[in-house]
Amino acid sequence: MTRGGCIFLLGFALLIPRHASAGSPYREWSAYGGGPENIRYSKLDQINRDNVSRLRVAWTYDTGDAFKGSEMQCNPIVVDGVLFATTPKLRVIALDAATGALRWSFDPFEGTKSAGKTRNRGVTYWRNRIYFAARHYLYALDAGTGKPAAEFGAGGRVDLRSGLGRDVGTLTISATTPGVVFRDLLVLGSIVSEGLPAAPGHIRAFDLRTGKQRWIFHTIPHPGEFGYDTWPKDAWQYIGGANSWAGLSVDEKRGLVFAPTGSAAFDFYGANRAGDNLFANSLIALEGATGKRVWHFQMVKHDVWDRDLPAPPSLVTVKRGGKPVEAVAQITKSGHVFVFDRQTGEPLFPVEHRAVPPSRVDGEALARMQPFPLKPPAFARQVFTEEMITKRTPEAHRAVLQRFRALHSGGQFTPPGFEGTVIFPGFDGGGEWGGAAFDPESGLLYVNSNEMPWVLRLVERPAPRKLSGSSLYKANCASCHREDMKGTPPEFPSLTGLRGKYAEPEMAGLIRKGAGRMPGFGNLESAAVAAIARYVLYGEDTAVEGRQAPSPIDLKYTHDGYNKFLDPDGYPAVEPPWGTLNAIDLNRGEIAWKIPFGEFPELAAKGLRDTGTENYGGPVVTAGGLLFIGATNHDRKFHAYDKATGKLLWETTLPSSGNATPAVYEVNGRQYVVIAAGGGKSGAPSGGTYVAFSLP
pLDDT tens digits, 216-273: 999 999 999 999 999 999 999 999 999 999 999 999 999 999 999 999 999 999 999 9
Domain check: are 541 and 612 in the same one?
no
Longest dimension (CA), the chain: 78
CB-based contact 443:589 (threshold 8 Å): no
Strands 686-694 and 157-159 come out as: unpaired
CB-based contact 72:687 (threshold 8 Å): yes
Q: Which residues contact 679 (CB under 8 A, 6 or more apart)?
A: 66, 71, 72, 636, 656, 657, 659, 685, 686, 687
pLDDT tens digits, 576-590: 999 999 999 999 999
In a domain, 209, yes or no: yes
Domain check: are 208 and 121 in the same one?
yes
Question: Angle between the 469-476 and 526-538 helix axes, to the nearest 10 degrees?
Answer: 90
Domain check: are 488 and 447 in the same one?
no
CATH number at residue 231: 2.140.10.10
Predicted confidence (pLDDT) at residue 631 exceeds the cutoff of 90? yes
List beta partners, residue 79: 82
Domain check: are 320 and 433 in the same one?
yes
| Spatial separation of the C-alpha atoms in residues 379 and 673, rounded to whole Å | 27
CB-based contact 15:595 (threshold 8 Å): no
Structural domain of 447:
19-382+424-452+576-694
Q: Which residues contact 503 (CB under 8 A, 6 or more apart)?
A: none
Predicted confidence (pLDDT) at residue 471 exceeds the cutoff of 80? no
In a domain, 1, yes or no: no
Domain check: are 446 and 520 in the same one?
no
Least confident of 208-222, 485-499, 523-537, 636-650: 485-499
In a domain, 2, yes or no: no
Which of 519, 554, 589 is a domain's end point?
A: 554
| Spatial separation of the C-alpha atoms in residues 554 and 416, rounded to whole Å | 19
Domain check: are 220 and 295 in the same one?
yes
Q: Give the full edge-to-edge strand order of the sheet including 12-15.
A: 2-3, 6-9, 12-15
Band (pLDDT 50/70/90 cuts) for residue 114 is low
Q: What is the mean pLDDT of residues 384-399?
A: 98
C-alpha closest to that of 222 among 239, 197, 205: 239
pTM of the predicted protein model: 0.90
Question: Angle between the 504-513 and 526-538 helix axes, to the nearest 10 degrees?
Answer: 120
Domain check: are 320 and 352 in the same one?
yes
C-alpha closest to that of 533 among 548, 561, 512: 512
| Spatial separation of the C-alpha atoms in residues 536 and 538, rounded to whole Å | 6
CATH number at residue 527: 1.10.760.10
Query: How many other CB atoms are found less than 10 A from the CB of residue 340?
Result: 22
pLDDT at position 502 is 78
Q: Give the full edge-to-edge strand order of the sheet including 92-96.
A: 77-79, 82-86, 92-96, 102-106
Cis-peptide into 376, omega within 30 deg:
yes
CB-based contact 427:480 (threshold 8 Å): no
| Spatial separation of the C-alpha atoms in residues 574 and 474, rounded to whole Å | 32
How many domains, the chain? Answer: 2
Q: What DSSP state is assigned to residue 358?
A: P
Domain check: are 165 and 235 in the same one?
yes
Predicted confidence (pLDDT) at residue 614 exceeds the cutoff of 70? yes
Cα 59 to Cα 46, 99, 416, 673, 675: the distances in Å are 18, 6, 49, 11, 11
In a domain, 419, yes or no: no
Predicted confidence (pLDDT) at residue 193 exceeds the cutoff of 80? yes
